[in-house]
Amino acid sequence: MSKYYNSQRVKGLYDPKSDSPFRLSRSKIDLFLECPRCFFLDRRRGIGRPPGFPFSLNSAVDALLKKEFDIHRAGKTAHPLMQAYGVDAVPFDDPRMDEWRDALRRGITYHHAPSNLMVTGGIDDVWANPQGELIIVDYKATSKEGKVNLDAEWQDGYKRQMEIYQWLFRKNNFRVSSTGYFVYCNGKTDRRAFDGKLEFEIDLIPYQGDDSWIESTLNQIRDCLKQDSIPDAASECDYCAYINSIGKQQ
């Protein structure tokens, strides 16, 4: 993240007069679903939400998990976590893995012709089962009391993320299992001392994805981008509520 927030961008914005496919990341689809107004300001006007701080610890866990699963990818063996949870699969060995993981510059992509949007996403991992199906896998890290789950409302974004990745691989002519997995690492705080290391409990959480909402949402995004007026804010958007509160004070 840069030291200073760039409040006005000029590159990568949607031009309604252009016939070129417009690159749209998985996270921007989620932004549209969170608040059409924030999405429009970001993609049409170049005014993005203020960035949050990077989760460096989460990034470290992500990088180490990728290294660990890549060892089994190279050896074509099942990871002990798969064996412990009875998942009959091995990490999918494909020369495009590094490309698919590169969310910023490459990722896995698909041109959705009806909306003329080039949808992109950067995955964490892909496994393959004996039936020839790919299994989409996402890594998550947290620290909370008790067992981790996917029950919180804010985790709906995790589920949509999984479904978009499943959809992207299907559109790239892969057979994809509807069941994906979250490798969820939960930092433990009940140890006697830190001793220079943080211990994690790792759970494998299955999720049955449903990507039926994606294509209609892409068409809604196209319509939003093509209009010239700023859409209404979502009723639960904290960013827009903050700006509106400031306006009332002036």
Report yes or no on 5 lying in a domain.
no
- Would residue 6 count as lying in a domain? no
Ordered alpha helix ranges (H), the chain: 26-34, 36-43, 56-75, 80-84, 97-101, 156-171, 214-226, 238-249
* Domain contains 12: no
Is the pLDDT reported for residue 93 higher than 90?
yes
What tens digit of pLDDT does each residue of 34-85 get? 999 999 999 999 998 887 766 667 788 888 999 999 999 999 999 999 999 9
The residues, ordered by sequence, that sit 6+ positions from 109 with a Cβ below 8 Å of its Cβ are: 118, 119, 120, 168
In a domain, 182, yes or no: yes
Specify the CATH number for the domain of residue 96.
3.90.320
Please give the tally of structural domains in the chain: 1
Range of the domain at 122: 22-249
Q: Model confidence over 177-206: pLDDT tens digits? A: 999 999 988 877 766 666 666 677 888 999
Specify if 13 maps to a domain. no
In this prediction, residue 1 has a pLDDT band, given cuts at 50, 70 and 90, of: very low
In a domain, 1, yes or no: no
Q: Is residue 7 one of the residues assigned to a domain?
A: no
Lowest mean pLDDT among 31-35, 159-163, 182-186: 182-186
Q: At what angle do helices 214-226 and 36-43 cross, to 10 degrees?
A: 60
30 pLDDT more than 90: yes
